[in-house]
Amino acid sequence: MRLARTDRSVFTEWWFSVDRLLLGAVLLIMLIGALVSLAASPAAAHKIGAEPLYFFKRHVLYMVPAALFLISASMLHPKLVRRMGLVLFLGGIGLMLLAFAQGIEKNGAVRWVIIGGQSIQPSEFAKAGFIILTAWLFGESGKRRDMPTLQIAIAVLGLFALCLVMQPDIGQTALVVLVWGGLFFLAGYSLIWIGLAILAGAGGFVGAYHMLPHVQSRVDRFLYPASGDTHQTETALAAFREGGWFGRGPGEGVVTPGLPDAYTDYIFAVIAEEFGLIFCLFLVCLYAFIVWRGFRAASRSHDPFIRLALSGLMMLFGFQTLINMAVNVDMLPSKGMTLPFLSYGGSSLTAMALTMGLALGLARRRPEAGPVYRSVPRTASGAASSRGIRI
Amino acid sequence: MRRVPPLNEVYDMTAEPTPAWRMRALSLALLGAFVAIGVQLTSLGREVAVASRMMSAEQQVRHALSRPDIVDRHGRMLASDIRVYWLFADPTQILDADDTVEKLSRVLSAEDVVGLRTKLRGPGRFEWVKRGLTPKQAADVHDLGLPGLQLIEEPQRVYPGGATAVHILGHTNVDNQGLAGIEKYIDANPSLPEPVDGVAERSRVRLSLDLRIQYALHEEVMFAQQRYQAKAAGGIVLDVKTGEVIAMAGLPDYDPNRREESLTEGRHNRFYYDAYEMGSVFKTFAVANALDSGAARMDDKIDVLTPLRMGRFTLYDRHAKKRYFTVEEIFTHSSNTGAARLALATGTERQKSFFAKLGLMQPMSTELGPTARPLFPERWREVNTMTAAYGHGISVPPFAFAVANAALINGGTRVEPTFLPRSGERAPGERVVSPETSAAMRQMFLANVEHGTGEQAKVPGYRVGGKTGTAWKPAKGGYSDEVITSFVAAFPMDDPQYLVLIVIDEPKPEAAGKRNEAGHNAAPTAGAVIKRIAPMLGIAPARTFDESPQASY
């Protein structure tokens, strides 16, 4: 098939407007995810008594809907992205409430809901919706002063954070609050308010530290390794050292099979042991490239929604990656956070594919109006005139 | 004062919403965090993985330490490392446990594969098969081509001399960590090994020991143990001026290459770590103390005829002649009453402080750790002063006894014993007795071998001096019929360089009609040792009239 720019079909239009480098980087990471799963699967399967390639096969199986989500979401028009975000968020919240109703506890947390025999972690999907919704609200705040957009955004954050804390999932809560804060910063609110928001975030963290024993224990163990069991961190670090620059080879890991979450939260350590630090550095570059590429597209757009939503999705992707990696290399206390596209898990994989699909859709080059500024003449008193130009 | 803008108001009314600088700042912060991860990864890569290499959930493959060589004072090898192989298995990768065990049993010995079948069927990911394979065995195992087996190369300690110097060297465990002796000391003092120069590949620790002397002593002590059918026999050769231990051996001992032998009861260095009542050799202290304090002079005549009564206790002399003895005669005839009377004349307090000055009231400390703690009565009464004069009622480790005697004959200064070489010139230690007393002691040592109880220690051409001691061994409620005999000797007596102590525990009479006293076993053993080692130590025999070469022409 030969594509020509004169061809106006949906696919051709998509192909010429999509950021192909970004798309390529995402697809490459997904491919690496399958490769890593092939290497990490036997040890994990051995532990639960399944056939050696059980996890690999499931991973590949999940890659089909993931790829579908990625491509189809990247074809969406920003307006549809916005609606999609709303649907994802409301649907996600609904499912999270349903999870409480179902009450399936796993590792002391109610995160999973079973639909049609398939267990799903709705918060993974709700995250992307939440970011798009928040970006929408913040984007609107500049245009429509009659709407209490910020109040709505705070309420949305409160609702989502509450649902996450109830599970409890402190890692995701921190991530969501972090991204929301980033969007608040990007939206252009006064730095004084941003300072207050940081204080509030810190307060929330201190509150979590004091009210949730498992958070406290994890933080203590990070700050004072002698205060408790640091087996996971120790083993992860041992894996990095064991692997060295070039790794022990796929499936040759001897340290990481001892890790309880080797194929999910500590997949980075497994990669380090089996494929080596040079490969890890390459992965870091690849993730950083995606973030950089996303922000580049965001800063080129003049539509506040696209700027905010795209940056938000990139922050979600970037922060999640960074937190996971930082935990693996002992720069942060351990918390359950998956490494996008590499960690095993259907919900995580498909939701992340959807997230990146939406980001790709927003990052598409499209004709748009030039920069539109509200020209708001200041009065002598400094108060803004109500006569703005409405778009 | 600046007005806080209302919450719903954008940051800067004239600027674009979602200001570009903020987006740039945020994306740079994110990229900076990625760089930080990269930096951390790089620093992890530069850390050397030694201890954490190869670990499974259950067990970590331990790595043996590489140890410095141990050499004697002339650089002869006493201990070194060789390469061996450790074999372990990952049971999850073993395809057929029966087949694996069957094939391994052809290469390894039968006891190596006992219980292996069960281990290889276990759920774990790590099991030792055998540690310490020879290169040949390792090559054979490798050639079996079995999956799930792994070999690692590790150092293992070897002692070329076997048991010869084991009581000084000690031994290591399977991980090559020092468990006893100098080996343990090396682990506690990492700066000890000599820095490696360009020629020598391995670092090494030099000892004061002389391997040839050690071998001669070990062999003579072994002969003595066999000849007198003794429970144990041991000896020490000490440089009386520097305190360097030139040799130390005690039987029974063990081969440090078979460390499991060390677990057998009684194979430890009993002459260092156990305390004994030494008997008459202790008279050296009574005599020296009496002379040094002025309580007696060499030509004083001491009553050795009247039994000595002290409360319920009466002391007779068995081999006293029917006249009063001079101090020298008390020494050479080993008179108990004479020594006791000298000690009483010197005084209890002075006796105690004299023992303390000689280092006999506290455990002595060397690189091998503290010796046995001396045993003495808590309340030191006159009767204890009497018995201590001839070496009963006080127990000391023979090692400490030898070191204390060095002070009496080296000119009168205390020496600090060591197993590491000392350079020739050292500041003299604390003065214990005057040079005159020391000279008198040498004279008596010599006289005792010339015409006293130690005659059998005579070595033609060498002026050897010494003192015998035969102690009844304490038993429940008194003393048993078994004895422990000893002979403390020094040579050459004009200017003593070396002290030799021989101790024989529970010797039997060599033949019917012979006696099991020190003069008949410990003294000839000391003589045999000196005869062998004196030429090695560079001491030329003195020419005397009766030994001068006869004109044969």
What is the C-alpha to C-alpha distance for residues B55 and B43, in angstroms, rounded to an integer? 21
pLDDT over 80 (residue B21): yes
- Chain A: nearest CA to B50, how far in angstroms? 9
Where is average pLDDT lowest: A354-358, B452-456, B475-479?
B475-479
pLDDT over 80 (residue A40): no
More confident residue, A148 or A277: A277
What is the C-alpha to C-alpha distance for residues B482 and B471, in angstroms, rounded to an integer? 9
Q: How confident is the model at residue A228 (pLDDT cuts 50, 70, 90)?
A: low
Residue B49 and residue A322: Cβ atoms within 8 Å?
A: no
pLDDT over 60 (residue B16): no
Helix axes of A213-223 and A191-211: crossing angle, nearest 10 degrees: 100
pLDDT at site A224: 66
pLDDT at site A317: 95
Rounded mean pLDDT, B273-281: 90
pLDDT at site A230: 67
Does A248 contact chain B (CB < 8 Å)? Answer: no
Residue A284 and residue B125: Cβ atoms within 8 Å?
A: no
Where is average pLDDT lowest: A70-74, A377-381, B413-417?
A377-381
Residue B42 and residue A281: Cβ atoms within 8 Å?
A: yes
- Chain A: nearest CA to B142, how far in angstroms? 19
Picking from B75, B117, B119, B80, the residue whose alpha carbon sits closest to that of residue B99 is B117
pLDDT at site A229: 61
pLDDT at site B545: 55
* pTM for this prediction: 0.58
More confident residue, A242 or B447: B447
Residue A242 and residue B55: Cβ atoms within 8 Å?
A: yes
Residue A245 and residue B45: Cβ atoms within 8 Å?
A: yes
Does A331 contact chain B (CB < 8 Å)? Answer: yes
Rounded mean pLDDT, B223-235: 91
What is the C-alpha to C-alpha distance for residues A236 and A267, in angstroms, rounded to an integer? 10
Of the candidates B5, B10, B30, which has its C-beta nearest A318's C-beta?
Answer: B30
More confident residue, B93 or A325: A325
Q: How confident is the model at residue B321 (pLDDT cuts 50, 70, 90)?
A: low
DSSP states along B173-207: -TT--B-SHHHHHHHH-TT-SBPP-SS-SS-EEE-
- Chain B: nearest CA to A189, how far in angstroms? 5
A 218-237 → B contacts, CB under 8 A = 235, 237
pLDDT at site B82: 87
Give percent above pLDDT 70 in chain B.
Answer: 89
pLDDT over 50 (residue B15): no
- Chain B: nearest CA to A191, how far in angstroms? 8
Report CA dihedral (A238, A243, A244, A247) to the nearest 10 degrees.
-170
Rounded mean pLDDT, B47-52: 45
pLDDT at site B427: 63
- Chain A: nearest CA to B137, how far in angstroms? 25
pLDDT at site A389: 38
pLDDT over 70 (residue A158): yes
Rounded mean pLDDT, B110-123: 80
pLDDT over 70 (residue B60): no
A355-365 burial code (b ≥16 CB/10 A, e <16): bbbbbbbbbbe
3-state SS string over B396-423?
A: ECHHHHHHHHHHHHCCCECCCCECCCCC
A 261-320 → B contacts, CB under 8 A = 272, 277, 280-281, 284-285, 287-288, 291-292, 295, 298-299, 302, 304, 307-308, 311, 314-315, 318-319
Nearest-by-CA chain B residue for A137? B8
Residue A295 and residue B27: Cβ atoms within 8 Å?
A: yes
- How far from B529 is each of B159, B214, B220, B502, B534, CA to CA, in Å? 24, 10, 6, 9, 8
Where is average pLDDT lowest: A166-180, B12-26, B338-352?
B12-26
pLDDT over 90 (residue A266): no
What is the C-alpha to C-alpha distance for residues A266 and A343, in angstroms, rounded to an integer? 8
How many residue pairs from chains A and B have C-beta atoms closer than 8 A?
157
pLDDT over 70 (residue B102): yes
pLDDT at site B319: 63
- Chain A: nearest CA to B76, how far in angstroms? 40
Q: How confident is the model at residue B50 (pLDDT cuts 50, 70, 90)?
A: very low
Of the candidates A191, A277, A292, which has its C-beta nearest B27's C-beta?
Answer: A292
pLDDT at site A330: 84
pLDDT over 70 (residue B2): no
Picking from A55, A12, A7, A22, the residue whose alpha carbon sits closest to that of residue A300 is A22
Q: How confident is the model at residue B34 (pLDDT cuts 50, 70, 90)?
A: very high
Residue A331 and residue B37: Cβ atoms within 8 Å?
A: yes
A 50-79 → B contacts, CB under 8 A = none
Pair B421, B208: CB distance under 8 Å: yes
pLDDT at site A212: 73
Q: How confident is the model at residue A1 (pLDDT cuts 50, 70, 90)?
A: low
Residue B44 and residue A325: Cβ atoms within 8 Å?
A: no
What is the per-residue pLDDT across A334-349, written as a single tens digit (0 to 9) for each? Answer: 777 889 999 888 888 9
Pair A219, A208: CB distance under 8 Å: no
- Chain B: nearest CA to A180, how far in angstroms? 13
Residue A191 and residue B11: Cβ atoms within 8 Å?
A: yes
Mean pLDDT estimate for chain A: 82
Rounded mean pLDDT, A146-175: 86
Q: What angle do CA A109, A113, A118 make, to 5 degrees?
A: 125
Residue A142 and residue B10: Cβ atoms within 8 Å?
A: yes
- Chain A: nearest CA to B138, how far in angstroms? 22
A279-310 burial code (b ≥16 CB/10 A, e <16): bbbebbeebbbbbbbbbbbbbebbbbbbbbbb
Q: How confident is the model at residue A314 (pLDDT cuts 50, 70, 90)?
A: very high
What is the per-residue pLDDT across B340-392, written as a single tens digit (0 to 9) for each? Answer: 888 888 888 899 999 999 989 999 999 888 998 998 888 888 888 888 888 88
Residue B55 and residue A329: Cβ atoms within 8 Å?
A: no
pLDDT over 70 (residue B198): no
Residue A257 and residue B8: Cβ atoms within 8 Å?
A: no
pLDDT at site A380: 44
Does A205 contact chain B (CB < 8 Å)? Answer: no
Domain ranges in chain A?
18-363
Q: Is A212 exposed, middle or buried (0-12, 13-18, 19+ CB in 10 A)?
A: middle
pLDDT over 50 (residue B56): no
- The tokens of B73 are what? 């004072």
What is the C-alpha to C-alpha distance for residues B440 and B294, in angstroms, rounded to an integer? 13
* Phi, psi at B314, each rounded to 5°: -125, 130
Nearest-by-CA chain B residue for A307? B18
Give percent above pLDDT 90 in chain B.
Answer: 22
Of the candidates B17, B36, B47, which has its C-beta nearest A188's C-beta?
Answer: B17
Length of chain A in residues, anyone? 391
pLDDT over 90 (residue B216): yes
Rounded mean pLDDT, A254-278: 82
B305, containing H or E segment: none
Picking from B523, B451, B525, the residue whose alpha carbon sits closest to that of residue B280 is B523
Most confident of A20-24, A201-205, A253-257: A20-24
Residue A188 and residue B92: Cβ atoms within 8 Å?
A: no
> Over the Cα atoms of chain A, what is R_g?
22
Rounded mean pLDDT, A214-225: 72
Nearest-by-CA chain B residue for A252? B54
Residue B52 and residue A284: Cβ atoms within 8 Å?
A: no
Rounded mean pLDDT, B384-410: 90
pLDDT over 50 (residue B59): no
- How far from B44 is each of A114, A245, A329, B34, B443, CA to CA, in Å? 41, 9, 8, 15, 72
Nearest-by-CA chain B residue for A52? B92
pLDDT over 70 (residue B40): yes
**List of chain B residues whose C-beta atoms are within 8 Å of the C-beta of residue A379:** none
- How far from A1 is each of A11, A12, A40, A72, CA to CA, in Å? 12, 11, 37, 20
pLDDT over 60 (residue B417): yes
Nearest-by-CA chain A residue for B148? A252
pLDDT over 80 (residue A118): no
ipTM computed for the complex? 0.86
Instruction: Identify the residue among B18, B59, B63, B95 best suited for mutation to test binding to A, counting A beta carbons within 10 A and taking the highest.
Output: B18
Does B147 contact chain A (CB < 8 Å)? Answer: no
Q: Which residues of B are catalytic?
A: 280
pLDDT at site A29: 94
B 65-94 → A contacts, CB under 8 A = 92
**Sign for the pseudo-dihedral over CA of B219, B223, B226, B230:** negative
pLDDT over 70 (residue B446): yes
pLDDT over 50 (residue A42): yes
pLDDT over 70 (residue B13): no
3-state SS string over chain A?
A: CCCCCCCCCHHHHHHHHCCHHHHHHHHHHHHHHHHHHHHHHHHHHHHHCCCCCHHHHHHHHHHHHHHHHHHHHHCCCHHHHHHHHHHHHHHHHHHHHHHHHHCEEECCEEEEEEECCEEECHHHHHHHHHHHHHHHHHHHHHHCCCCCHHHHHHHHHHHHHHHHHHCCCHHHHHHHHHHHHHHHHHCCCCHHHHHHHHHHHHHHHHHHHHHCHHHHHHHHHHHCHHHCCCHHHHHHHHHHHHHCCCCCCCCCCCCHHHCCCCCCCCHHHHHHHHHCHHHHHHHHHHHHHHHHHHHHHHHHCCCHHHHHHHHHHHHHHHHHHHHHHHHHCCCCCCCCCCCCCCCCCHHHHHHHHHHHHHHHHHHCCCCCCCCCCCCCCECCCCCECCCCCCC
pLDDT at site A66: 93
- The amino acid at B343: A
pLDDT at site B28: 93
Instruction: Identify the residue among A136, A230, A255, A299 best suited for mutation to test binding to B, counting B beta carbons within 10 A and taking the highest.
Output: A255
DSSP-derived pairing of the beta strands B77-89 and B127-133: antiparallel
What is the C-alpha to C-alpha distance for residues B432 and B411, in angstroms, rounded to an integer? 9
pLDDT at site A144: 67
Q: Which domains does chain B have, with CATH numbers?
A: 213-536 (3.40.710.10)
Residue B16 and residue A371: Cβ atoms within 8 Å?
A: yes
- The tokens of B258 are what? 């078979």
Does B52 contact chain A (CB < 8 Å)? Answer: yes
Pair A243, A273: CB distance under 8 Å: yes
pLDDT over 50 (residue A388): no
pLDDT at site B219: 93
pLDDT over 90 (residue B312): no
pLDDT over 70 (residue B110): yes
Does B550 contact chain A (CB < 8 Å)? Answer: no
What is the C-alpha to C-alpha distance for residues A350 and A360, in angstroms, rounded to an integer? 15
Of the candidates A186, A254, A281, which has its C-beta nearest B41's C-beta?
Answer: A281
Nearest-by-CA chain A residue for B10? A189
Q: How confident is the model at residue B61 (pLDDT cuts 50, 70, 90)?
A: low
pLDDT at site B485: 92
Pair A298, A363: CB distance under 8 Å: yes
pLDDT at site B36: 94
Pair B527, B490: CB distance under 8 Å: no
pLDDT at site A88: 92
